[in-house]
Amino acid sequence: MIFDKSISVALIANDAGSANLLTHFFIGTNTQPAKVFMVGPAKKIWKNYFPDTLISNSIKEAISGCSIVITATGWQTDIEHEARILAQGMGIHCIACLDHWVNYKERFIRNCELVLPDEIWVFDDYAMSLASLIFPDTKIFLQQNFYIEHMVNMAKVEKEPNIPELLYLSEPMRNDWGKNIQGEFQALDYFLQNIEKIGLPREYNFIFRLHPSENINKYKKFLDERGIEYIFDVNTSISTALGRASWIVGCQTYALVIACELEKEVFSSLPPQAPKLSLPYKEIQQLRNLQ
């Protein structure tokens, strides 16, 4: 779908994953929404590409006068859910973007209230099949993934350094898997205890990259207590980090999918007690399955 100038579109987002997909959708189709309300990681991503965009002061201000509302489907705030409720109440056509392969139905529930959009956008065939099964009565549309195309092209420009790099990608898991410790720390600890399974050379640099929603202080003490040498990556772009790395490790972040497209060595650090890996890519080696 390409929106012409006669269609007034409002874009509402906090979630980084959907924001990346939607930002590059508008870049790829050479269009822009009429109004934008973004906070958190989404605002930073959008402003990087559209620095002159005026951000609305509220959801209602962004939606008013628009004929279509497009929202992300994150979990960290309720703004996207509230936008769908408001659009529904105002009779405005609502589109929601799914950026991953997990918790599809839960993304549309707050306080036990399910609010589905008029249509859902996905960006790969697997998500299309999955969403169609979960939402049989909702229109599902497969859109071109301009984001992954852009990221792959950008990463291919980078050269791997003389001292090879192992890139670990953090990711909030929102589950303790019955262990009374956050899942992301369980995964990181499991990785560090089983790092030899990857078959690393004697000399390499361990690069630790934070998820956009996380703070550097979250992991520093945890890593320091384990006495390992690491480098926090807080300045380079994700495409640069992926392009430089020889080995890329994470739980089930979307960046692992980009790494697969780059034909890197890719590993999931999900520990044995964690659920099944949600990423539908056979190229991802699961650390818990390696000998």
What is the pLDDT at residue 235? Answer: 83
Give whole-number Cα distances, 36 to 8, 175, 213, in Å.
Answer: 11, 32, 20
The answer to whether residue 1 sits within a structural domain is no
Q: What is the pTM of this model?
A: 0.86
What is the pLDDT at residue 250? Answer: 97
What is the span of the domain harbouring residue 263? 152-289
Helix (H, G, I), strand (E, B) or coil at 147: helix
Q: For residues 135 and 120, what is the distance between their CA atoms, to the nearest angstrom?
A: 9
Strand-strand pairing, 265-268 and 205-209: unpaired
Chain centroid offset of residue 22 CA: 12
b/e string for 240-263 if b means 16 or more Cβ within 10 A? ebbbbbbbbbbbbbbbbbbbbbbe
The answer to whether residue 208 sits within a structural domain is yes
**Phi and psi for 124 in degrees, rounded to 5?**
-160, 160
The residues near 45 (Cβ < 8 Å, ≥ 6 apart) are: 16, 19, 20, 23, 212
The answer to whether residue 2 sits within a structural domain is no
Please state, as a whole number, how many other Cβ atoms lie within 10 Å of the Cβ of residue 144.
12
Amino acid found at 265: E
Same domain, 129 and 215: no
Strand-strand pairing, 265-268 and 285-286: parallel
What is the pLDDT at residue 5? Answer: 62
What is the pLDDT at residue 284? Answer: 97
Closest alpha carbon to 70 in 97, 50, 44, 43: 97
Q: Where does a domain end: 87, 117, 144?
A: 144
What is the pLDDT at residue 77? Answer: 84
The count of structural domains within the chain is 2
The answer to whether residue 264 sits within a structural domain is yes
What would the two tokens of residue 11 be?
């874009």
Region of 103 on the Ramachandran plot (φ > 0 left; ψ -120 to 50 alpha; else beta) = left
Q: Where does a domain end: 84, 115, 144?
A: 144
**Residue written as token pair 């044995």:** 272
Same domain, 133 and 156: no
Same domain, 101 and 187: no
What is the pLDDT at residue 155? Answer: 95
Q: For residues 227 and 183, what is the distance between their CA atoms, to the nearest angstrom?
A: 21
CATH code, 57:
3.40.50.2000
Please give the chain's pLDDT, 291 residues, in tens. 556 666 899 999 998 889 999 999 999 999 889 999 999 989 999 999 999 999 999 999 999 999 999 999 987 789 999 999 999 999 999 999 999 888 899 999 999 999 999 999 999 999 999 999 999 999 999 999 999 999 999 999 999 999 999 999 999 988 899 999 999 999 999 999 999 999 999 999 999 999 877 888 999 999 999 988 999 998 889 999 999 999 999 999 999 999 999 999 999 999 999 999 999 999 999 999 998
Closest alpha carbon to 173 in 160, 164, 161, 186: 186
Same domain, 130 and 89: yes
